[in-house]
């Protein structure tokens, strides 16, 4: 069924937990303590499909299950195909491993000079500061270490990581991730951000977090004060479907924005969740309304047991084609594949260039009409002339 955009409703409320006092519901530690983590807790609240029951039985050997009450409310319990449900409830497919899948699909461990720090690009590092999240995405690219279901025994080494960054003046950009950095206490974050700010060559600090989406209650004024104190801190959140854009998330994004935190969004393209032009268009429009700039759409990494969740690359291209030129430029994210084995993120774009010859570059606009821009007055090198062939999907 085609997805119809709902422009007016921002879901809010305590749903299944309406008997809980509001101050508890709004307390993020209550949300954490009351997460759904077992098959039994899940079955008390909804009827599962056989493949979900099977998935839950095995989750603790792969990636733990955890769903905050807030996020659980976003699941349509009567719809086995609910796009929110598929992101957090394990299914049997997780136990099926195909030949192309890997435990470390983007080769992070081989680019890790000290435990918990990935230095792949010349000027920036990925700093993994915890192995825990508020809830677990079933397609997690770091499931080898996140939640510790696979006994990886990751222990974040703040001091080793900080020492590495201090001694590498080429590192101007530090990305805190994990796990989810916003699970750390305000005090720990204050310490970490303070230490990073003391390093003169670190110009840019950002945090990758899905906590605003899983547990917007975590975005307290106290946390916002930490960001104000050490700002500018940038943040990438992770919203996959317009159903996740609730009144609570909108408020959390507003608090972050007003604390001076520029917000971007990273979506993962997931089969039957958001591999659809109407769903994506609705999502990015909602993001803009929440002050969030769509940043990346990721092709799903080849993580073990993800075949049932991975959407096709042609769908990704079709989505970008349907957006660029057809809606606000700010709303259009960059579609990327994180190259299997460790090549980094590579932009994957629809083919707009038709031909480059000595006279002109010939290209198509968003309507498919052909245009040309003369090149007579420029030198054209071979790299440029050799335009790629038309891709057919």
Ligand X SMILES: *Cc1c(COP(=O)(O)O)cnc(C)c1O
Cβ 108 to ligand X shortest distance, Å: 6
124 near ligand X, rule: CB under 6 A: yes
Q: Of residues 308-337, which lie at the interface with ligand X (CB under 6 A)?
A: none
118 near ligand X, rule: CB under 6 A: yes
- Residue 338 falls in the annotated catalytic set: yes
Chain centre to alpha carbon of residue 381: 38
Q: Which entry of 45, 172, 197, 345 is annotated as an active-site residue?
A: 345
Site for ligand X (CB under 6 A): which residue of 45, 345, 355, 362? 345
Cβ 320 to ligand X shortest distance, Å: 17
Count of other CB atoms within 10 angstroms of residue 107: 18
- Residue 142 falls in the annotated catalytic set: yes
Residue among 72 and 234 whose Cβ is closer to ligand X: 234
Site for ligand X (CB under 6 A): which residue of 81, 121, 203, 314? 121
Q: Which entry of 62, 104, 132, 137 is annotated as an active-site residue?
A: 137
Cβ 175 to ligand X shortest distance, Å: 5
- Residue 345 falls in the annotated catalytic set: yes
Q: Of residues 166-225, which lie at the interface with ligand X (CB under 6 A)?
A: 175
- Residue 301 falls in the annotated catalytic set: yes
Residue among 126 and 235 whose Cβ is closer to ligand X: 126
- Residue 124 falls in the annotated catalytic set: yes
Residue among 112 and 327 whose Cβ is closer to ligand X: 112
Residue among 121 and 371 whose Cβ is closer to ligand X: 121
Cβ 269 to ligand X shortest distance, Å: 16
Residue least distant from ligand X (Cβ)? 126
Q: Which entry of 124, 243, 250, 321 is annotated as an active-site residue?
A: 124
Cβ 381 to ligand X shortest distance, Å: 26
Q: Give me the residues that bind ligand X (CB under 6 A), please.
A: 118, 120-121, 124, 126, 175, 345
């Amino acid at each position: 069924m085609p997805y119809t955009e709902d422009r007016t409703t921002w879901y809010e409320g305590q749903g299944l937990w309406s008997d809980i006092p509001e101050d508890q519901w709004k307390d993020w530690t209550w949300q954490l303590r009351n997460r759904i983590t077992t098959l039994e807790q899940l079955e008390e609240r909804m009827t599962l499909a056989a493949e979900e029951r099977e998935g839950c039985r095995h989750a603790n050997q792969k990636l733990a299950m955890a769903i905050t009450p807030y996020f659980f409310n976003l699941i349509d319990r009567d719809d086995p195909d609910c796009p929110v449900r598929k992101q957090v409830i394990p299914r049997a497919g997780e136990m099926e491993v195909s030949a192309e899948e890997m435990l470390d699909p983007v080769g992070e461990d081989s680019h890790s000079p000290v435990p918990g720090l990935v230095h792949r690009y010349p000027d920036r590092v990925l700093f993994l500061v915890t192995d825990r999240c508020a809830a677990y995405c079933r397609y997690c690219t770091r499931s080898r270490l996140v939640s510790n279901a696979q006994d990886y025994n990751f222990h974040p080494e703040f001091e080793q990581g900080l020492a590495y960054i201090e001694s590498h003046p080429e590192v101007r950009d530090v990305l805190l991730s994990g796990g989810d950095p916003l699970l750390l206490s305000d005090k720990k974050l204050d310490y970490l951000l303070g230490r990073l700010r003391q390093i003169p060559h670190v110009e840019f600090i950002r945090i990758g977090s899905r906590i605003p989406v899983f547990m917007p209650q975590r975005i307290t004024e106290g946390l916002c004060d930490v960001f104000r104190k050490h700002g500018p801190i940038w943040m990438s959140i992770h919203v996959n479907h317009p159903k996740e854009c609730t009144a609570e998330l909108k408020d959390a994004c507003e608090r972050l924005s007003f604390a001076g935190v520029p917000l971007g969004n990273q979506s993962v393209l997931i089969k039957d969740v958001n591999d659809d032009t109407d769903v994506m268009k609705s999502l990015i429009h909602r993001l803009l309304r929440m002050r969030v700039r769509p940043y990346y759409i990721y092709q799903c990494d080849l993580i073990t047991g993800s075949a049932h969740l991975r959407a096709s690359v042609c769908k990704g291209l079709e989505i970008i084609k349907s957006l660029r030129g057809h809606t606000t430029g700010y709303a259009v994210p960059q579609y990327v594949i994180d190259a299997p084995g460790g090549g980094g993120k590579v932009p994957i774009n629809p083919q707009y260039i038709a031909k480059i010859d000595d006279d002109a570059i010939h290209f198509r606009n968003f309507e498919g009409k052909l245009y040309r821009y003369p090149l007579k007055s420029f030198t054209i090198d071979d790299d440029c002339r050799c335009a790629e062939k038309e891709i057919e999907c």
